[in-house]
Chain A
């Protein structure tokens, strides 16, 4: 019994986030009279917010290094959207090549930031504030103040398309359901194997009942949402993309040497250096990665909007930063999870969407989001205080 309590209290923050998300979902499900969880709307929420979640993955790594943020991601996303549109619409480049080169440019921009921050020692806030101005300026210069549209179908596919299915639009999407079942089964098998391995080492494992209950809840959620989505047009490609990113970045942060180095660096930079960690390289890599993800977010957003505009990407950085902090990242670094940041992003997305359906004007939505950020971080600060007292 004691071990269950211990496990619970250790993960309280994470569970707290999930519970908050459920409460908000349930609240809006009632307030919108069931519209929120309509199949069409679930797709919408995911597609509307995929860019925030993509950015949040990268932003979390920046924040982990010591509360550093990247203010330039909105501008970079805008710029990359514009560049890819120019490649395709003005220069006639094939879409895959254009996307590939655009991503490389994003990576290069990330390296640019990384260089100034890690090797020259310019504070991240300043270097990326400069980036915000520079790349917004370049975006406007490239587009010469006009929007480029429409984007070709293969460009918008990832942002607005759905996983192809036999059933065709309208019918129940069999591939979607099949993949949900396969993923759930895989998850169960993997978890059981990991549990067995742990036991073979003689370590404590969670109580079997608790373990199964946890797995069952996760699988039920996966299958439920996929089923709802299957009733509409199946799995949005952006969901597939975000899911892959979440898995990849969770893996990097929790299971790789590089990930561990980021946490150590953020937790105590001197100790990390004295432990032989190349902290400059860690910093550089984190910002380089952020550039790449900002580019990806730019392409997804441009695809969803179906046009590249001089203003697109404006304010994205704040959404991504807010998502990370709502998701439990520490402002001083060293604490935070990818899953937390994604949940933070989803929470804001559901708030936006729910309020939009209710007809709350956009200015009020902004104010509510601000309050949520404040309350979430205040809650975090207070609960930490109570624990240390």
Chain B
């Protein structure tokens, strides 16, 4: 029998009478990477919040045992940290204006009688930075670092507290492939040094790569804990959703029509530095009934391209031509873009896509309010009718159209955003990371909606950083790198390898053309 470093027994947690966790058992062996998976709302974060003392002892039922015996009663996060448990949340808890060293020791300042010892702070910080393999000045400001490095600094912060159990909540959700790979390797290194990791992730390929054991939660219950040797992505998914997913991507009948949307010789410069070219001579088109993928690593300029097309929302000194149905159109504002039948569903639902404090109804009709109003006066009943139609058609799980969007799950929020744009009746839909932060079941529904859009003769441009998703959904894929289209492939013939090759090839010519 292995001893467990951590055991959570019979954990039950209620939120205003509704059980978020029901008698959950969770056991972690020392020196392992233990993955915790489940759909959104399965209870992963709640369980980890109990472990790290965010929900204090007494607000839940059950026991937390450390090192096989000691029952822990954490009242605060500090209590759990003292026992060597540290959690890194999805939203990073760094102060952008402070330096790396200051952030590492925030709340744990290296001080004597309240006066900070700066030499010790810097030296210790530099030491820890070496452990995570970061070669930057400890004086650097967090603001100036990329997300990947920020994530590493969060880990450094945890290491500075002599962590034994490190909990990471979706650490790679916002990282590009390169940074993700680095982070995962670091976790393996830490594991080899004896630090136990609990990894919450939706990215099953990563889990299969680094974890030794996997615990699956569904609807607040432990479904199973399996050894990595017995796990494949399909098995994990089956446990997560509780049914077979015979096909992750719904089938679509391909009926490709005329060219609907064209961008010619599109150039965009950085609004903060008007000499830096962000988008460089981009040409692309999409046909009616077609789903066209736009792939690129983070920083390739995908979102910048979309936003610059969508009413010059991003960029300066924009040049180039846009055609819809063969006609040249002039777009100066977002309104112009919408009038010309272009829709853009942002990758950042919460910050840029939805008004979270408003109702489902108000969000759905926001873009096309004129469709339910006469002389600028809204017809309540018409509006409610439309909202209710979309709520049912897109299966938005909610109590009514008057529920606040902020209280919906990620997948349902995404459906609200889709409803909003579909109700505007566009011809071209640019969908930026349509399944980001959406759980497996809802992903399938969103893919179905995309297929239906293509099926009704719309043209869909799908931006994604998940290649399998693009390969499964698209007819053609454009590969974007450093602001340029570096490849175009028919999705049927494409593989992950040949798409990555486009990117690698184009990097060879760095600096040749400007």
Contact = CB atoms under 8 A, between A and B. Distances in A.
B370 A334 contact: no
Interface in B299-317: 310-311, 313
B335 interface: yes
Interface in A353-372: none
A138 interface: no
B373 A267 contact: no
B334 A274 contact: yes
B367 interface: yes
Interface stretch (A122-130, A251-259, A373-381): A251-259
Q: Which of A257, A274, A277 has the most CB of B within 10 A?
A: A274
Q: Which of B333, B334, B355 has the most CB of A within 10 A?
A: B355
B357 A270 contact: no
Interface string B371-406: 001001110110011001000000000000010000
Contacts of B384: 201, 203
B369 interface: yes
Contacts of B353: 271, 274
A216 B75 CA distance: 52
Given A197-B381, A264-B362, A278-B335, A271 B355 contact: yes
Interface in A33-55: none
Given A274-B346, A275-B420, A256 B376 contact: yes
B42 interface: no
Given A257-B369, A276-B335, A268 B378 contact: no
A264 B377 contact: no
A207 interface: no
Interface in A100-149: none
Contacts, number: 83
B381 A275 contact: no
B358 interface: yes
Interface string A17-31: 000000000000000
Contact of B378 (A10, A256, A267, A273): A256
Contact of B376 (A257, A263, A267, A389): A257
A275 B357 contact: no
B334 A263 contact: no
A257 B311 CA distance: 21
A239 interface: no
Question: Chain A, interface size: which category?
Answer: 20 to 34
B352 A274 contact: yes
Contacts of B351: 268, 270-271
Interface string A271-309: 111111110000000000000000000000000000000
Given A260-B369, A260-B378, A270-B352, A276 B358 contact: no
Contacts of B354: 268, 271
A334 B385 CA distance: 24
A242 B16 CA distance: 43
A9 to B, nearest CB: 12
Interface residues of B, number: 35
A10 B400 CA distance: 12
B211 interface: no
Contacts of A268: 351-352, 354-357
A275 to B, nearest CB: 5
B338 interface: yes
Nearest to A251: B377
Interface in A180-235: 197-198, 201, 203
Nearest to A334: B357
Nearest to B382: A201
Given A256-B377, A257-B373, A260-B366, A273 B334 contact: yes
Contact of A274 (B344, B357, B378): B344
A274 B313 contact: yes
A245 interface: no
B355 A260 contact: no
B416 to A, nearest CB: 11
Given A258-B376, A276-B335, A276-B338, A271 B367 contact: no
A260 B373 CA distance: 12
Contacts of B16: 389
B362 A260 contact: yes
A126 B373 CA distance: 37
B245 to A, nearest CB: 32
B385 A201 contact: yes
A273 B16 CA distance: 36
Given A201-B385, A274-B346, A264 B358 contact: yes
A270 B350 CA distance: 10
A268 B385 CA distance: 25
A270 B356 CA distance: 12
A98 to B, nearest CB: 32
A267 B370 contact: no
Given A201-B384, A267-B356, A335-B357, A255 B378 contact: yes
Interface in A1-22: 10
Nearest to B378: A255
Nearest to A265: B355
Nearest to B384: A203
A267 B367 contact: no
Contacts of A261: 369
Nearest to A204: B400
Contact of B334 (A260, A276, A335, A389): A276
A276 B335 CA distance: 5
Contacts of B333: 276, 278
Interface string A310-337: 0000000000000000000000001100
A30 B313 CA distance: 60
A361 to B, nearest CB: 41
A61 B354 CA distance: 21
Nearest to B348: A270
B170 to A, nearest CB: 22
Nearest to B353: A271
Nearest to A258: B376
Q: Which of B351, B362, B373, B380 has the most CB of A within 10 A?
A: B380
Given A201-B381, A201-B385, A273-B313, A267 B335 contact: no
Contact of B358 (A10, A257, A258, A267): A267
A255 B355 contact: no
Contacts of B338: 276
B334 to A, nearest CB: 5
A11 to B, nearest CB: 11
Given A201-B385, A276-B338, A257 B378 contact: yes
B352 A334 contact: no
A334 B357 CA distance: 8
Given A334-B357, A334-B358, A275 B366 contact: yes
Interface in A328-353: 334-335
A198 B367 contact: no
A276 B340 CA distance: 12
Q: Which 4 A-B pairs have the closest CB atoms?
A: A267-B355, A270-B352, A276-B335, A268-B355
6 contacts: A256-B377, A260-B362, A260-B366, A264-B362, A275-B367, A277-B366
Given A261-B369, A268-B351, 20 more contacts: A10-B402, A201-B384, A256-B378, A260-B378, A264-B362, A267-B355, A268-B355, A268-B356, A271-B353, A271-B354, A272-B355, A272-B366, A274-B334, A275-B366, A275-B420, A276-B311, A276-B337, A334-B355, A334-B357, A334-B358
Interface of A: 10, 197-198, 201, 203, 255-258, 260-261, 263-264, 267-268, 270-278, 334-335, 389
Interface of B: 16, 310-311, 313, 333-335, 337-338, 344, 346, 351-358, 362, 366-367, 369-370, 373, 376-378, 380-381, 384-385, 388, 402, 420
